[in-house]
Amino acid sequence: MRRKIPPTHAAQPRNRRPDTQWVPPGPEAPVGSWTELRPGDRIIITSPWTPRWDGEVDLVTNDGSILWVHLEAGRGRILVQQSDGHQVWRMPTGVPASPLGAPAPLEAP
């Protein structure tokens, strides 16, 4: 008889159900106005209907309605519209990216 291995909650699944919300590590909250973002900011983009995207801000329009983002792990560059309902989270300083584009766990001091 095979033993069941309990699921791990350490990794965020790429395809979530619409009723789940992922919260990134650290004290950061979703960015209220995208005009606060600057090129080079490391961010996470979430929405109920798409996979989570990790990347770096490339360009923000003056009114903050559109972002161009370079995705991590060589996944290209995307345009994200605020009107589509995406939430943007700024990554805390000092959280290294993992090789797969997901934030690496923080190490104990």
Residue 103 lies in a domain: no
Q: Residue 85: is its pLDDT beyond 50?
A: yes
Residue 21 lies in a domain: no
Residue 99 lies in a domain: no
What digits encode the pLDDT tens for the residues 34-84?
Answer: 999 999 999 999 888 878 889 999 999 999 999 999 999 889 999 999 999
Question: What is the reported pTM?
Answer: 0.62
Residue 19 lies in a domain: no
Provide the CATH number for the domain around residue 79.
2.30.30.520
Q: What is the largest CA-CA distance in the chain?
A: 61
What digits encode the pLDDT tens for the residues 60-70?
Answer: 999 999 999 99
Q: For residues 31 and 39, give the distance between their C-alpha atoms in angstroms, rounded to a whole number.
A: 14
Residue 76 lies in a domain: yes
Mean of the per-residue pLDDT values of the chain = 74
User: Residue 30, SS3?
Assistant: strand
% of the chain at pLDDT higher than 90? 37
**Number of domains making up the chain:** 1
Which residues span the domain enclosing 53?
A: 34-90
Which residue, among 85, 82, 6, 94, has the nearest Cα to 42 in the 3D structure?
Answer: 94
